[in-house]
Amino acid sequence: MPAAEPFPTCDESIRPTRVEVDLGQLGRNLAAIRSHAGGARVMAVVKANAYGHGLVPVAREMVRGGADSLGVALLEEAVLLREAGITAPILVFGGIAETQIPLFFRHDLTLTAPSVDKLRLIDDAAAAHGVRARVHLKIDTGMERLGIHYYSADRLLEASLNARHVQVEGIYSHFANSDTADLGHARLQLERFLEVLSFYERRSLPVPQRHIANSGGILQLPESHLDLVRPGILLYGVYPGPECLRSVPVRPALTWKSHVAYFKVVQPGHPVSYGSTWTADHSVRMVTVPVGYGDGYFRALSNRAEVLIRGERHPVAGRVCMDQIMVNIGQGTAYYRDEVVLLGRQGGEEVTADELAGWAGTIAYEVLTNINARVPRVYL
């Protein structure tokens, strides 16, 4: 049975709150990254519902735009892509259970082998199914997450030479601090990774496809581009950190919108929303917008965030509710169904993911991936 689209189609007659994704801008971002990466291949990272932009439509656009492969975190994400008819190579970054391995073979997916034991499980399963498993070896050079430690990596590489039912297509690591001004740790990780790779040179063996550069590495460490780069948040037009070089020209592809659902005048001394955390000291005009923390608009944005209405910034007043927010427009004008931009550009103003993150005390990654399933996506 074909998989359903993970998000509903937008119908403004049902609900006005929606995310608009500019597929053309995503394509332009991909092209800019490819140009900057020189001869390196590009693996478009579409995990976490393509950073909130919509897994299947974005993956299709990445393949159309020339991405050499796709990267996801979970087997389930990869299976959704296959069931949607996407045939490009897909690497699953995350750890796997033994019972999942046959599904990789069934759906023609590439596994990550982060240890000798996992590699043996993959090899045994491939032998039992009469197939040759495609894997990328994962080296931990300083993240302490997945992967064999760099100082023990020879054990995994030796084991891969003896695995009879495994094809090692790649070998990779992941930067922990490639998006900061101080690149000392990132350079140390790269040095450790290159030392691991010398295993092949010492034995006069062909080297699998090497990759370590995430968005920060792409922007700041050209020496890390190697054979393949893995852009994540950069693909979506957001830079990975405030200190990171803007060496690739990208623009956001996502706009989060709603509209004015109600208008009222709030009198002095009348508190607004749960907890009565905001009270007018003079008569103000207030609008209600049908979006809340049930959609992924953080409760931490209460009394802090701003939205755009008629090209002007207006503050969120009172606590964010599960389904609604109230916005103080002062003595301004707004009418029922006026567009409200929560994230993105309207006229000459823009609310960025970094701004929302700052107000909420988090990072842009979480802002984007937190926009949840009940918010419809529209593709332009």
Catalytic residues: 47, 274
Q: What is the DSSP letter of 57?
A: H
Interatomic CA distance for residues 297 and 301, integer angstroms: 7
Interatomic CA distance for residues 236 and 96, integer angstroms: 27
Residue 318, sorted as left (phi over 0), alpha (psi -120 to 50) or beta, turns out to be left
Amino acid at 20: E
Q: What is the DSSP letter of 290?
A: S
CB within 8 A of 308, min separation 6: which ones?
314, 340, 341, 345, 346, 347, 349, 350, 351
Q: Which helix (H) or strand (E) holds 40?
A: none
Amino acid at 189: Q
Interatomic CA distance for residues 289 and 246, integer angstroms: 34
- Helix/strand/coil for 130: coil
Are 310 and 329 a contacting pair, CB within 8 Å?
no
Cα dihedral sign, 242-230-139-81: positive
Residue 38 CB neighbours (<10 A)? 9
Cα dihedral sign, 173-85-256-298: negative
Closest CA to 176 of 155, 153, 146, 133: 146
Are 76 and 96 a contacting pair, CB within 8 Å?
no
